[in-house]
């Protein structure tokens, strides 16, 4: 299985992993002991001993809390433990570890929870609900989470902050803990990476607790955190025998007015290793396109027919349309010609708007590999308002158009039509600037031109663009990104060779 270390598990899949581990002879109580120990170690690493309130729920998340409380108390920390529900109602491994806790078990009522937070605790461990949360927080759990958030008390959440869905990254009701840190086990969940979950988790730590990686084979999950192991071996590097045509020829369609967008894409594509980059443009704009980028080939395309004629050269291995293209009928005809050519095609921005409200038309015209890169606004324009979380919407839309879809943002989702998906968690918010998406489209299109399959090209492109913008800080503009791409590529090349 590809990149198993980056796989994300839904809460249901994590439950299966847990059961599969037990079936393979790893006792559940040991998994819980390791989970609680990891939580305690996280606390010890981050804070000096201080008054620590452990909030335990009625399920196994609470069981982890009992273990963490025991470890910290044994190390001399002042610990109070408040339990939601009846101690006698605890089952299985949670009951086992509760029995090993020698301190007091105080009932968690609304008043007791609030008072402990307001008058006593320096720090809280949230072991109320994890994967088993099935509805909005209410009663004492809601009251204590509300008090924690109001006081902004430092907190470590076990598995997920209570109130959050580990699958969607959204709170199940109005309330969710805003944790300082979250410790999760075996593999991350989509809700740890999707917004707002990623921010509600605070710093995320992943702990290995003894679940054997082999259980992943029977579960066969298909969602990953986007990272190089998923696609690094597909990247192409030059060697002494290399010829520019080995690295593909990308053709970008340039519009008449917004010429900066396609220029940004072209510069990024050249920096990302495409052997040749050509830009087809109407006469009025050709001079502008040629400025400041001598390695770009500018070709005449005054009509959709002239553009289509350029596609007869079979060496053009990928097509990019959208940035600055315009949305007039001629633009739509150009996009149709590209789709009909069967060439690997990336559609962004205006090229997607040409199919507003009619994704079925796009799907019907597609003859070859396709990547589309909408932001939320373009997504809504193309597909209409859709329900579901970001991951669900991206996967459904990708299946519908038969192409790979990148739903952009801080938590970009890359979804393939076969159900594979990657969630990106390595993009700085400074990318929220005009033209950053044009750079992304150039990066992905360059990888398509070099022969990467659409899902890998899109996932790699999203990661590479994010990394190139990392650590720049305030003031980043899209023009800064292309020239920072080579450094990212050098690192990837070195890692691949290692």
Ligand X SMILES: NC(=O)C1=CN([C@@H]2O[C@H](COP(=O)(O)OP(=O)(O)OC[C@H]3O[C@@H](n4cnc5c(N)ncnc54)[C@H](O)[C@@H]3O)[C@@H](O)[C@H]2O)[C@@H](O)CC1
Q: Which residues make up the interface to K ion (CB under 5 A)?
A: 126, 130, 157-158, 162
Residue 201 or 298 with smaller CB distance to ligand X: 201
d(CA 79, CA 52): 5
Minimum separation from the CB atom of position 194 to K ion (A): 17
Per CB under 6 A, 101 contacts ligand X? no
- CA–CA separation, 125 vs 161, rounded Å? 10
Tell me how far, at minimum, the Cβ of 54 lies from K ion, in Å. 11
Nearer to ligand X, 15 or 196 (CB): 15
Nearer to ligand ADP, 212 or 429 (CB): 429
The residue from 72, 80, 124, 130 that contacts ligand X (CB under 6 A) is 130
Site string for ligand X, 255-284 (x = CB under 6 A): ------------------------------
E runs forming strands in 22-113: 52-56, 79-83, 106-107
- What minimum distance in Å lies between the beta carbon of 255 and ligand ADP? 13
Check residue 190 for interaction with ligand X (CB under 6 A). Answer: no
CB distance 234 to 460 below 8 Å:
yes
Question: Does the protein bind ligand X through residue 159 (CB under 6 A)?
Answer: yes
358-360-361 Cα angle (round to 5):
70
416-455 footprint of ligand X as x/- string (CB under 6 A): ----------------------------------------
Binding mask 26-45 for ligand X (x = CB under 6 A): -----xx--x----------
50 binds ligand ADP (CB under 6 A): no
| Sheet with 52-56: strands ordered across | 106-107, 79-83, 52-56, 123-127, 155-158, 181-185, 203-207
Q: Is 137 in the site for ligand X (CB under 6 A)?
A: yes
368, HSE (Cβ side, Cα atoms, 13 Å): 20
Closest distance between ligand X and the C-beta of residue 384, in Å? 32
The verdict on 436 binding ligand ADP (CB under 6 A) reads yes
78 contact, one of ligand ADP, K ion, ligand X, none, CB 5-8 Å limit per kind: none
CA 109 to chain centre: 37
CA distances from 189 to 167, 195, 221, 380 (A): 6, 12, 11, 26
Per partner kind, with CB cut-offs from 5 to 8 A, the member of ligand X, ligand ADP, K ion, none near residue 13 is: none
Q: Which residues contact 49 (CB under 8 A, 6 or more apart)?
A: 75, 76, 77, 78
Return d(Cα 277, Cα 299) in angstroms, integer: 10
Residue 479 and residue 497: Cα distance in Å, rounded?
Answer: 30
CB environment 165-179: b (16+ within 10 A), e (fewer): bbbbbbbbeebbbbb
The yes or no reply on residue 186 touching ligand X (CB under 6 A) is yes
Which residue's CB comes closest to ligand ADP?
A: 437
Q: Which is nearer to ligand ADP, 69 or 272 (CB)?
A: 272
Is there binding between residue 252 and ligand X (CB under 6 A)? no
Tokens describing residue 67? 């273990």
Q: How far apart are the first and last CA of the chain?
A: 21
Residue 468 and residue 486 in contact, taking contact as beta carbons nearer than 8 Å: no
Q: Applying CB under 6 A, which part among 55-63, 252-260, 305-313, 376-384 lies near ligand X?
A: 55-63
Is residue 410 part of the contact set for ligand ADP (CB under 6 A)? Answer: yes
Interaction of residue 324 with ligand X, rule CB under 6 A: no
Interacting residue ranges for ligand X, rule: CB under 6 A: 14-15, 17-18, 31-32, 35, 57-64, 129-135, 137, 141, 158-159, 185-186, 209, 211
């Amino acid at each position: 299985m590809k990149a198993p270390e980056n796989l994300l598990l839904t809460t249901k899949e994590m439950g299966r992993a847990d059961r599969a581990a037990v079936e393979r002879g790893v006792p559940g109580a040991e998994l819980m002991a390791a989970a609680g120990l990891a939580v305690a170690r996280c606390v010890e690493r981050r804070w000096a001993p201080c008054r620590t309130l452990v909030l335990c729920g009625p399920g196994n998340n609470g069981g982890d809390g009992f273990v963490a409380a025991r470890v910290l108390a044994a190390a001399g920390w002042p610990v109070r433990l408040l339990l939601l529900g009846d101690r006698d109602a605890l089952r299985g491994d949670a009951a086992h570890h509760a029995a090993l806790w020698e301190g007091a078990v105080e009932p968690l009522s609304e008043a007791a929870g609030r008072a402990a937070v307001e008058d006593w605790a320096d720090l809280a461990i949230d072991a109320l609900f994890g994967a088993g949360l099935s509805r909005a927080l209410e009663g004492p759990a809601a009251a204590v989470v509300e008090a924690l958030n109001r006081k902004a008390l430092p907190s470590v959440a076990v598995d997920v902050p209570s109130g959050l869905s580990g699958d969607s990254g959204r709170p199940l009701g109005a309330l969710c803990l805003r944790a300082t840190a979250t410790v999760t086990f075996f593999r991350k969940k989509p809700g740890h990476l999707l917004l707002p979950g990623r921010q509600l988790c605070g710093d995320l730590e992943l702990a290995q607790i003894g679940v054997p990686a082999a259980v992943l084979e029977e579960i066969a999950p298909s969602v990953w955190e986007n990272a190089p192991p998923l696609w690094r071996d597909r990247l192409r590097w030059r060697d002494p025998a290399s010829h520019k045509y080995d690295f593909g020829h990308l053709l970008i369609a340039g519009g008449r007015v917004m010429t900066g967008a396609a220029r940004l894409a072209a510069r990024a594509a050249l920096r990302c290793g495409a052997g040749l980059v050509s830009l087809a443009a109407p006469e009025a704009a050709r001079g502008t396109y040629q400025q400041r980028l001598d390695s770009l080939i500018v070709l005449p395309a005054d009509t959709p027919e002239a553009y289509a004629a350029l596609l007869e050269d079979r060496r053009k291995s990928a097509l990019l349309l959208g940035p600055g293209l315009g949305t007039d009928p001629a633009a739509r005809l150009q996009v149709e010609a590209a789709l009909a050519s069967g060439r690997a095609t990336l559609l962004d921005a205006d090229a997607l708007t040409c199919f507003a409200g009619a994704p079925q038309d796009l799907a019907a015209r597609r003859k070859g590999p396709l990547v589309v890169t909408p932001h939320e606004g373009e997504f809504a324009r193309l597909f209409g308002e859709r329900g579901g979380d970001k991951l669900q919407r991206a996967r459904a839309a990708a299946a519908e158009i038969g192409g790979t879809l990148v739903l952009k943002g801080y938590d970009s989702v890359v979804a393939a039509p076969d159900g594979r998906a990657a969630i990106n968690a390595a993009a700085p918010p400074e990318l929220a600037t005009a033209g950053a998406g044009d750079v992304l489209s150039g990066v992905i299109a360059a990888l398509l031109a070099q022969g990467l399959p659409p899902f890998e090209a899109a996932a790699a492109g999203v990661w590479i663009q994010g990394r190139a913008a990392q650590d720049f800080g305030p003031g980043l503009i899209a023009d800064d990104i292309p020239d920072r791409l080579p450094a990212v590529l050098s690192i990837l090349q070195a890692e691949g060779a290692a």
